[in-house]
Amino acid sequence: MEKLKIGAGACGFHCIKVKDFSVRAGTTMLLEHINLHIHCGRLTVIIGRNGAGKSTLIKAMLGEIRHEGTIEFRDIKQNAIRRLQIGYVPQYLNIDKNTPASVYDMFAAYISKIPVCLYQSKRVYKQVKERLSLFAAQDLIDRQVGDLSGGELQRVLLSIACTPVPNLLLLDEPVSGIDRNGIELFYKNIEMLKRNYDLAMILVSHDLEFVEKYADYVILLDKTIIREGTPDKVLSSREFKEVFGSSKTAWVG
Amino acid sequence: MNFMKYDFMRNGFLAILLIAPLFGILGTMIVNNKLAFFSDALGHSAFTGVAIGVLLHIADTNLTMAVFAIIFALLLNAIKRKDSLSTDTIISVFSSFSTAIGLVILSLGGQFSKYSALLVGDILSISKKEIILLLLVFLATLLFWGFCFNRLEAASLNISLAKSKGVPVTTIESIFAVFIALIVMFSIKWVGILLINALLILPAASARNIAGNMREYHLFSILISLFSGLLGLVLSYFLNTATGPTIVIIASVFFFLTLLAKPLVKS
């Protein structure tokens, strides 16, 4: 097996195995026989054309759509099966622009039981601010969610998904709406997570340029895994050229 | 306060003190979750509920209305989750179908005029016993809000994210749908099928225009609802107009005022 770099914060002793995932809609197969081996401290990026089943795979791993196959989370050191905690960063929120929810309201709704419609708890406020500050988003706490830019919203969602820090973080990257600085900052945050925490990450990405720069492992998906490996290997493969043509950057999926 | 010497005015006053904040609170999440069509359809299903009661010779049509509305709400929720059709289409089909069934049954033998009061409602006809029931529903809603609001809000922002955080989304949404069903059925006699949705939606829709967070949203919605309700009651007494529509006009004026104020508040 190829030698892969592992984040400094990871113990390297946890592994997550996706075994034989398949998803069907009626008689059509959306995903077939997906087998993944994911290590903590590693950023695995899923790429593929539109409709290749990238988001479907994420939804199946979240247990939100019916699928065949299992996920196993193993502690190699103690050879024990553990309960897998999954964090999720969605592509977008299902809200109107004028939804009267502040970042505090949104955050507290996911991590606290004190009703946000009744009052703002000082303790929770402090906690939310602390978590946001990990991702350079502490100044957004009183802003209205609908007013955030794509990049700001992504940072807030990232900190919600990481409170508490999960074993596996699933990220569905927005197709558009985030500027270059936002994307850079996002990947910086991912690197920070890799450095400081013991977690595995799977990112559905639409930006191949950044994939090449930041991914540890790349999976090229087209209903099933048609190629996987280190970024340079996958991005120079025949299968990759068949899916994307020869251009790496002029593509949005 | 001269007009308070009448029993019906006192009861109407008490009823509005309960219904208005109740609708103000409930409306916030109905608007947030884009359920305005849903609550409207529920209102229309009241006809079918009454009709079933009449068919089965059940004296208390409140009961059949409530049972039918709950089934209707849960069924609608289940079909919505399958999302193969667009939600507003499904809801329109359900709504028209149940309204038509109700009207056909109730109009058998030319009896419909007996039930036409249901269309407009009459808040002044509320009895002491019904006010106490309303109080109980109000308290139940407060409890639900107190214990489940964050989960409801979490689900309304993003279902997948809520599920990944362990929120029992389906259960919470079903309970909320049952609450809407019960409250709509319970107030329809006093508010009327035609206007009940306006009273549920308008205060929250106005509050959204000027609120920046959930606390302001609830506070403004309750205040606007309460103010429109009380002013509407008093005005309808002096102008000798129907109370429900008078309240709706005042609430609508609030909506347009907040819409105008929006750029000032949010800048």
SS (H, E, C) chain B: CHHHHCHHHHHHHHHHHHHHHHHHHHHHHHHHCCCHHHHHHHHHCHHHHHHHHHHCCCCCHHHHHHHHHHHHHHHHHHHHHHCCCCHHHHHHHHHHHHHHHHHHHHCHHHCHHHHCHHHHCCHHHCCHHHHHHHHHHHHHHHHHHHHHHHHHHHHHHCHHHHHHCCCCHHHHHHHHHHHHHHHHHHHHHHHCCCCHHHHHHHHHHHHHHHCCCHHHHHHHHHHHHHHHHHHHHHHHHHHCCCHHHHHHHHHHHHHHHHHHHHHHHCC
| A chain contacts of residue B84, beta-carbon cutoff 8 Å | none
- Look at residue A103 in the predicted model and tell me its pLDDT: 96
Residue A247 has pLDDT above 60, yes or no: no
Contact of A93 with A153, CB cutoff 8 Å: yes
Q: Computed from CA positions of residues B124, B125, B130, B134, in that sequence, does the dihedral angle turn out positive or negative?
A: negative
**Stronger pLDDT, A241 or A249, i.e. the higher one:** A241
- Look at residue B112 in the predicted model and tell me its pLDDT: 77
Tens digit of pLDDT for each residue in A10-40?
Answer: 666 778 889 999 998 888 889 999 999 888 8
Using DSSP, state whether A139 is helix, strand or coil. helix
- Look at residue A216 in the predicted model and tell me its pLDDT: 92
Q: Please name the amino acid found at residue B216.
A: E
Percentage, residues of chain A above pLDDT 70: 91
Q: Is A136 left (phi over 0), alpha (psi -120 to 50) or beta?
A: left
Q: Which residues pair with A137 in a beta bridge?
A: none
Q: How far is A119 from chain B (nearest CA, A)?
A: 7
Distance CA B31, CA B166 (A): 24
Residue A5 has pLDDT above 60, yes or no: no
Q: Computed from CA positions of residues B120, B126, B132, B133, in that sequence, does the dihedral angle turn out positive or negative?
A: negative
Tens digit of pLDDT for each residue in A51-69?
Answer: 889 989 999 999 888 899 9
Q: How confident is the model at residue A7 (pLDDT cuts 50, 70, 90)?
A: low
Mean pLDDT over all residues of chain A? 86
Residue A252 has pLDDT above 60, yes or no: no
CB atoms within 10 A of CB A140: 24
Percentage, residues of chain B above pLDDT 70: 98
Tens digit of pLDDT for each residue in A96-155?
Answer: 888 999 999 999 999 999 999 998 999 999 999 999 999 989 999 999 999 998 889 999
Q: How confident is the model at residue A82 (pLDDT cuts 50, 70, 90)?
A: confident
Q: How confident is the model at residue A205 (pLDDT cuts 50, 70, 90)?
A: confident
| B chain contacts of residue A100, beta-carbon cutoff 8 Å | 207-208, 211-214, 216-217
| B chain contacts of residue A118, beta-carbon cutoff 8 Å | 145-146, 149, 215, 218
| A chain contacts of residue B212, beta-carbon cutoff 8 Å | 100, 102, 144
- Look at residue A1 in the predicted model and tell me its pLDDT: 39
Check B154 against A87: CB less than 8 A apart.
no
Check A117 against B154: CB less than 8 A apart.
no
Span of A192-206, B22-36, B76-90, B116-130 with lowest mean pLDDT: B76-90
Tens digit of pLDDT for each residue in B158-175?
Answer: 989 999 999 999 999 999
